[in-house]
Amino acid sequence: MSYINIGIIIIIAFIISVVLTKLEIPILRAKAGQNIREDGPQSHLSKAGTPSMGGIAIIISAVAATLIAGLVWGGSVSDMLVILFVFLGFGFIGFFDDYLKVIKKNNLGLRAYQKFGLQIVISVALAVFLANYSQGSTNVYIPIADVYVDFGIWYIPFIVFVVLAMTNAVNLTDGLDGLASGVTALVTLFFSVGGLTYGIASGTYFCAAVCGGCLGFLVFNKNPAKIFMGDTGSLALGGGLAAAAIVMKMELLLPIVGLIYVIEALSVVLQVGYFKLTKGKRIFKMAPIHHHFEKCGFKEVHVVIAFWIFTVICCVIGLGII
């Protein structure tokens, strides 16, 4: 396994993603137009009707490239299947939610308890499997200290928290043209390099494939976006990224290299909590925080580029740690 392998996987996923996204745009435009929040930035109202559910292309391209890499270069089959199970499982939840909202025109989509409940089921299944059948069992790697710590009975709730937090954080980040796809391409590229450094083939293949899939999708998702990934893409990306990081024992690097995800999620938590405590007051002009910057007068494309640059810095810090 080498950087050449990573490059080949990225290129394969990129090509598949570009082709599939181009093909799905006219199909989804006719059936899956995006609804836009009326209380959001006024500039977003023009995006109404933009096809959503484009994450289907990312999912197919990532799965295809991962399987091709596994067949050609080998690797742990069980690790690969576990990661893809979580990736596809969360993608299915997002797809069903999008299907209800944008095709069936049910604005509520899945109920919160249904959506969260399904996420918990998949997260617990992953945690239980890894605790009982993975090579590292309940050990968690502490990067800076360079030691493994056995979490014992706390391993399962810890893993469930990591998966749920990352999945919903990526979902919240998906609010501007090219934001989630660009940030995730950078983060998965980091984990590809990290997986290569630690010699973990399956996780490396998957992260490189997701990177390529996101870059291919970004061709059409950059401002002005011709298509959105929807919950189909964002939930799959969050779940798959978390699963890959956990399998590679790099889960504690997620909040470092994926700090944008953390900030986006925290901005929502703080906004909602402060709003309830103060009976109507707000910390930010709008949450998630990318909308706050828009409300402050920054152009959407400038916010996205700034978040990309910030993520590059976080990934460089992550490389320094590993």
Residue 305 lies in a domain: no
Residue 94 lies in a domain: yes
Contacts of residue 235, Cβ cutoff 8 Å, sequence gap at least 6: 90, 91, 93, 94, 97, 119, 167, 170, 171
Is 231 labelled as part of a ligand binding site? yes
259 three-class SS: helix
Of 187, 158, 171, 160, nearest to 236 (Cα)? 171
Q: Give yes or no for a contact between 83 and 38, defined as CB atoms under 8 angstroms apart.
A: no
Residue 284 lies in a domain: no
- 51: how many CB neighbours lie within 10 A of its CB? 24
| Tokens 């617990």, located at residue | 124
Residue 297 lies in a domain: no
Question: How far is Cα 179 from Cα 267, in angstroms, rounded to an integer?
Answer: 16
Residue 181 lies in a domain: yes
The pTM score is: 0.93
Cα angle for residues 106, 219, 96 (degrees, 5° grid)? 20
Is 171 labelled as part of a ligand binding site? yes
Start-end of H helices in 222-299? 230-247, 254-257, 259-277, 289-295
Q: Which domain range does residue 142 map to?
A: 3-252
Per-position pLDDT tens, the chain of length 322: 789 999 999 999 999 999 999 999 999 987 765 555 555 565 555 566 789 999 999 999 999 999 999 999 988 888 999 999 999 999 999 999 999 988 877 777 789 899 999 999 999 999 999 999 876 689 999 988 889 999 999 999 999 999 999 999 999 999 999 999 999 999 999 999 999 988 888 899 999 999 999 999 999 999 999 999 999 999 999 999 999 999 999 999 999 999 999 999 999 999 999 999 998 899 999 999 999 999 999 999 999 999 999 999 999 999 999 8
Residue 55 lies in a domain: yes
Residue 290 lies in a domain: no
Residue 299 lies in a domain: no
Residue 48 Cα to chain centre, angstroms? 23
- Could you give the number of structural domains in the chain? 1
Q: Positive or negative CA dihedral for 83, 5, 210, 256?
A: positive
